[in-house]
């Protein structure tokens, strides 16, 4: 099971102290088969990965430029640079970036360059409320997968995060039966070699009681609740109780 923390644009050097609890929890539970990955803002990737040396917790980024080569791109960071400072993962296609203009084809280029740089990709897909209401969920998911993963043959470094846009940061989660249907639909798209499929959107220490019962889910992408170490640990604990 994956527990991936998406810190979004939160956190500073001081915040990292709060991770000591999670480091201890991870060390005390080495035998459990869960994988914790922290995706902080880029400013914290290096200090965080230094702090996590000798732990099983890994670090990821939240986005990157589409070229793995250096270039005249003010304000941008590429996948190679992220790898260089300790990131092993990168979140791509998050709806907060799609909403500000990131297209499927741009996401596809980012995925390709991140694969070349040796990062694992957490590829986010999900329908808006409007699409869900007009029964276009499957159509949206299909298109995002098709365009986002266009001409990528080796998908072994790809993890899918199914995040219904309407459930991100809202406290709303899909009904279990709907969620199972969507995850199965995604898995079916890949046939026998399905990547791991995570769920994201309002995962917290309360909603986890419902979500953990859904056996087709391979883990969680956690936003808001991951910034509080106690809540984050609670989510992991509750998954296994
Ligand atoms: P949330 O965010 O857990 O705060 O809903 C999830 C995400 O944006 O990945």
Per-residue confidence band for 209, with pLDDT thresholds at 50, 70 and 90: very high
- What is 155-188 written as a DSSP string? -TTEEEEE--GGGTTTS----HHHHHHHHHHHHH
70 Cα: distance to centroid of ligand 1 (angstroms): 31
CB distance 181 to 210 below 8 Å = no
Could you tell me the CATH number of the domain that includes residue 166?
3.20.20.70
97 Cα: distance to centroid of ligand 1 (angstroms): 13
C-alpha distances (whole Å) from 222 to each of 17, 104, 153, 205 are 19, 23, 28, 11
- Give the per-residue pLDDT at 143: 98
DSSP state of 229: H
Dmax over CA atoms of the chain, in Å, equals: 51
Could you read off the pLDDT of 163-177 as tens digits, one per residue? 999 999 999 999 999
| Atom 9 of ligand 1, residue of closest alpha carbon | 223
Could you read off the pLDDT of 25-55 as tens digits, one per residue? 999 998 878 999 999 999 999 999 999 999 9
Q: How many domains in the chain?
A: 1
| E strand residue ranges, 57-190 | 58-61, 89-92, 120-125, 158-162
Average pLDDT over residues 122-144: 98
Residue 6 region by backbone torsions, left for phi larger than 0, else alpha for psi between -120 and 50, else beta: beta
* Ligand 1 atom nearest to CA at 225: 3
User: What is the domain extent for residue 76?
Assistant: 2-240
Per-residue confidence band for 241, with pLDDT thresholds at 50, 70 and 90: confident
In this prediction the pTM is 0.97
């Amino acid at each position: 099971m994956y527990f991936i923390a998406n810190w979004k644009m939160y956190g500073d050097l001081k915040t990292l102290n709060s991770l000591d609890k999670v480091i201890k929890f991870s060390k005390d539970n080495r035998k459990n088969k869960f994988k914790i990955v922290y995706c902080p803002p880029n400013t914290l990737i290096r200090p965080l990965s230094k702090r996590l040396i000798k732990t099983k917790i890994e670090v990821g980024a939240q986005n990157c430029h589409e070229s793995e080569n250096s270039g005249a791109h003010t304000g941008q960071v590429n996948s190679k640079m992220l790898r260089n400072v300790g990131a092993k993962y990168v979140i791509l296609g998050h709806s907060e970036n799609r909403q500000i203009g990131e297209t499927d084809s741009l996401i596809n280029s980012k995925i390709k360059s991140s694969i070349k740089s040796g990062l694992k990709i957490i590829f986010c897909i999900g329908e808006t409320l409007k699409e869900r209401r007009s029964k276009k969920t499957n159509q949206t998911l299909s298109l995002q997968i098709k365009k986002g993963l266009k001409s990528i043959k080796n998908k072994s470094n790809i993890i899918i995060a199914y995040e219904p846009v309407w459930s991100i940061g809202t406290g709303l989660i899909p009904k279990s039966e709907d969620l199972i249907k969507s995850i199965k639909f995604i898995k079916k798209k890949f046939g026998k070699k399905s990547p791991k499929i995570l769920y994201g959107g309002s995962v917290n220490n309360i909603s986890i009681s419902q979500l953990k019962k859904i056996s087709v889910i391979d883990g969680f992408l956690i936003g808001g609740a991951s910034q509080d170490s106690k809540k984050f640990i609670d989510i992991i604990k509750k998954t296994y109780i």
